């Protein structure tokens, strides 16, 4: 079997041998620490009945560890120059398949049907390219794929926003979007030193346990997220001012005030103090008013 890719030495050797040049624009920061890789892989609670979708395998450092733990691994890589390298590092693992493409453009339902039909559960596990973290996460969550966990390395600051509770400055529309679909927990904080090349920021491994049903009942999801965005549009403004700027015109100010009163929400509060349940109540009441 080929040796683990994940040491600084092996990673440098592989890059040099193939004459590979890292592309910053594709978020190519490769992990070179086996302990971190194992922490990521074990957070997804894999066994040989489980499937894994990996996004951005790079030279295969994480893919190898996932292939040791899971029954099926599908790794989507946008950079065609990495395919011959992956072929080499994944040679001992025939149940690991590389798909060449942009995960944001890929038909994931089709990928599921093709690769994961026989699996008892599927998780996404990845060291994500940081320039597209949020679009990738939102695609995975909004598409309502049958997922168990999403375990990803992302920027520490983004992980903290995803996991934030009401009241602090990290709490915002991203927190609510993520927590609507999943229960987050930050598994590890990771320094830049374990990557080649080193990113400029701290990283974190976050695990999302997908909910069977969303955290709150909303009648109209699009309106719910619209209300959330409106209430965070200007963080220093009150709820009432943000709602007037985004969702109600001046003439309907009395209606807005009675909706807030009916929901038991003080109009001078700030968006960052409302829990997800309060946003659901507010969105449902606005929908009822509009009908």
- Which residues make up the interface to ligand SAM (CB under 6 A)? 26-31, 55-58, 61-62, 76-79, 102-104, 127, 129, 132
CB 145 within 8 A of CB 116: no
Candidates 192, 159, 158, 161; CA nearest to 175 is 161
Residues annotated within a binding site: 29, 31, 56, 77, 102, 127
**Residue 111 CA from chain centroid, whole number:** 18
CB 58 within 8 A of CB 64: no
Residue 1 CB, nearest approach to ligand SAM (Å): 19
The DSSP letter of residue 270 is B
90 by DSSP, 3-state: which? Answer: coil
Distance CA 215, CA 151 (A): 19
The residue with its CB nearest to ligand SAM is: 56
Distance CA 196, CA 127 (A): 13
Q: Indicate the residue among 133 and 284 with the shorter CB distance to ligand SAM.
A: 133
Residue 119 CB, nearest approach to ligand SAM (Å): 21
Q: Indicate the residue among 79 and 226 with the shorter CB distance to ligand SAM.
A: 79
Q: Indicate the residue among 199 and 267 with the shorter CB distance to ligand SAM.
A: 199
Q: Indicate the residue among 70 and 247 with the shorter CB distance to ligand SAM.
A: 70
Residue 269 CB, nearest approach to ligand SAM (Å): 38
Residue 98 CB, nearest approach to ligand SAM (Å): 11
Q: Give every CB contact of residue 212 below 8 A, 6+ residues apart in sequence.
A: none
CB 82 within 8 A of CB 58: yes
Token pair listed for 270: 């700030």
Residue 13 CB, nearest approach to ligand SAM (Å): 15
- The CA-atom distances, in angstroms, between 50 and each of 47, 63, 109, 137 are 6, 14, 17, 21
Residues annotated within a binding site for S-adenosyl-L-methionine: 29, 31, 56, 77, 102, 127
Residue 225 CB, nearest approach to ligand SAM (Å): 23
Q: Indicate the residue among 8 and 267 with the shorter CB distance to ligand SAM.
A: 8
CB 206 within 8 A of CB 185: yes
CB 248 within 8 A of CB 255: yes
Q: Indicate the residue among 3 and 251 with the shorter CB distance to ligand SAM.
A: 3
């Amino acid at each position: 079997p080929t040796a683990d890719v994940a040491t600084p030495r092996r990673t440098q050797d592989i890059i040099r041998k193939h004459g590979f040049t890292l592309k910053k624009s594709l978020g190519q920061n490769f992990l070179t620490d086996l302990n971190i890789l194992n922490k990521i892989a074990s957070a997804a609670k894999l066994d040989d009945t489980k499937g894994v979708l990996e996004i951005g395998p790079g030279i295969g450092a994480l893919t190898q560890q996932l292939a040791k733990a899971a029954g099926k691994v599908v790794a989507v890589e946008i950079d065609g120059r990495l395919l011959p390298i992956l072929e080499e590092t994944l040679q001992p693992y025939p149940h690991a398949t590389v798909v060449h493409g942009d995960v944001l453009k890929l038909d994931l339902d089709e990928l599921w049907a093709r690769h994961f039909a026989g699996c008892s559960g599927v998780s996404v596990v990845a060291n994500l390219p940081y320039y597209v973290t949020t679009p990738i996460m939102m695609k995975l969550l909004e598409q309502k794929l049958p997922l168990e966990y999403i375990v990803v390395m992302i920027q520490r600051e983004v992980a903290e926003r995803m996991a934030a509770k009401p009241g602090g400055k990290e709490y915002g529309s991203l927190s609510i979007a993520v927590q609507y679909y999943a229960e987050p927990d930050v598994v590890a904080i990771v320094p830049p030193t374990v990557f080649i090349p080193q990113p400029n920021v701290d990283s974190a491994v976050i695990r999302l346990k997908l909910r069977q049903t969303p955290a709150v009942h909303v009648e109209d999801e699009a309106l719910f997220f619209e209300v959330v965005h409106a209430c965070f549009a200007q963080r220093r403004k009150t709820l009432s001012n943000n709602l007037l700027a985004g969702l109600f015109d001046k003439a309907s100010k009395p209606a807005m005030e009675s909706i807030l009163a009916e929901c038991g929400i003080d109009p001078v509060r700030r968006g960052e103090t409302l829990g997800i349940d309060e946003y659901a109540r507010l969105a449902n009441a606005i929908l009822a008013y509009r009908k």
